[in-house]
């Protein structure tokens, strides 16, 4: 999908990978980039607007842990303004296995709820035009960091959910693919808590492995958006974009 002249909603588009990806998206010239994020960052929004004045960049405060009805209300406001939305990026995530409930709520439930809410506007069974969803998951979804099993499991759940969305595309008209970054140098991985403190140095140990920059990740993210491959499991690692094969499908 060419980004030019498209309307894009980016949940958590101001974080480490998110902000660099927002920059790369704006450079590609969408018509509208709507950023939904829990933390306001007027400086970042101003920077994005200045980066390409032809792009309308809009910000709405949003916490992915709110109920589906509240998300639907926000989306009604956005759709009323834009009329159409081409791409939803679900990018919210936390890495802290001390916060078990919130990790699951942000990394998995939030993705499910935001996706469920946008179906009200996209589902072809309701007369919708369809759309595209890109869910930011993680390589831990298929290769767990065992010291943070809650985080890894939440990302595996998001990955499985995305794979199911892709298989449901003939019914809903909504296609989906997953973005799975490898170890990326963001504030997320510098220091975080392992489950039951099984490894107090897990952040340090993780950074002993080869890493990539947020810019490298963002540039490959844009390539994945442009590829627009339903059901793709994209691994963004060490500056490379790799298509991961899912080995088994269960048909109903």
Sign of CA dihedral 111, 78, 225, 172: positive
Q: Count Cβ atoms below 10 Å from residue 139 Cβ, excluding itself.
A: 21
Annotation marks residue 151 as catalytic: yes
What does 190-212 look like in DSSP terms, one character per residue? HS-PPGGGS-TTHHHHHTTS--B
Q: Which two tokens stand for residue 44?
A: 């970042």
Residues 6+ apart with CB under 8 A from 23: 47, 48, 51, 218
Q: What is the DSSP letter of 244?
A: P
H/E element, 170: helix 169-172
Q: Which two tokens stand for residue 4?
A: 């030019």
Asked if 194 contacts 161 with a C-beta cutoff of 8 angstroms, the reply is no
Among 60, 62, 146, 151, the active-site one is 151
Question: Annotated catalytic sites, by residue?
Answer: 151
């Amino acid at each position: 999908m060419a980004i030019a002249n498209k309307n894009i909603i980016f949940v958590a588009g101001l974080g480490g990978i998110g902000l660099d990806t927002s920059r790369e998206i704006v450079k590609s010239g969408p018509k509208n980039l709507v950023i939904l994020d829990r933390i306001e960052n007027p400086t970042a929004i101003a920077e994005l607007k200045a980066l390409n004045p032809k792009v309308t960049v809009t910000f709405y405060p949003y916490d992915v842990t709110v109920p589906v009805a509240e998300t639907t209300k926000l989306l009604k406001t956005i759709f009323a303004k834009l009329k159409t939305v081409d791409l939803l990026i679900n990018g919210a995530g936390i890495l802290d296995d001390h916060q078990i409930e919130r990790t699951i709520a942000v990394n998995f439930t939030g993705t499910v709820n935001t996706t469920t809410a946008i179906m009200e506007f996209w589902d072809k069974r309701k007369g919708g035009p369809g759309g595209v969803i890109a869910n930011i998951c993680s390589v831990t979804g298929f290769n767990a960091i065992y010291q943070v099993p809650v985080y890894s499991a939440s990302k595996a759940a998001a990955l499985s959910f995305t794979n199911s969305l892709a298989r449901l595309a003939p019914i809903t008209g909504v296609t989906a693919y997953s973005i799975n970054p490898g170890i990326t140098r963001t504030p997320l991985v510098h220091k975080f808590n392992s489950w039951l403190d099984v490894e107090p140095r897990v952040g340090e140990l993780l950074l002993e492995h080869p890493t990539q920059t947020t810019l490298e990740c963002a540039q490959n993210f844009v390539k994945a958006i442009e590829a627009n491959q339903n059901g793709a499991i994209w691994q963004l690692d060490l500056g490379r974009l790799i298509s991961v094969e899912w080995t088994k499908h269960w048909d109903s």
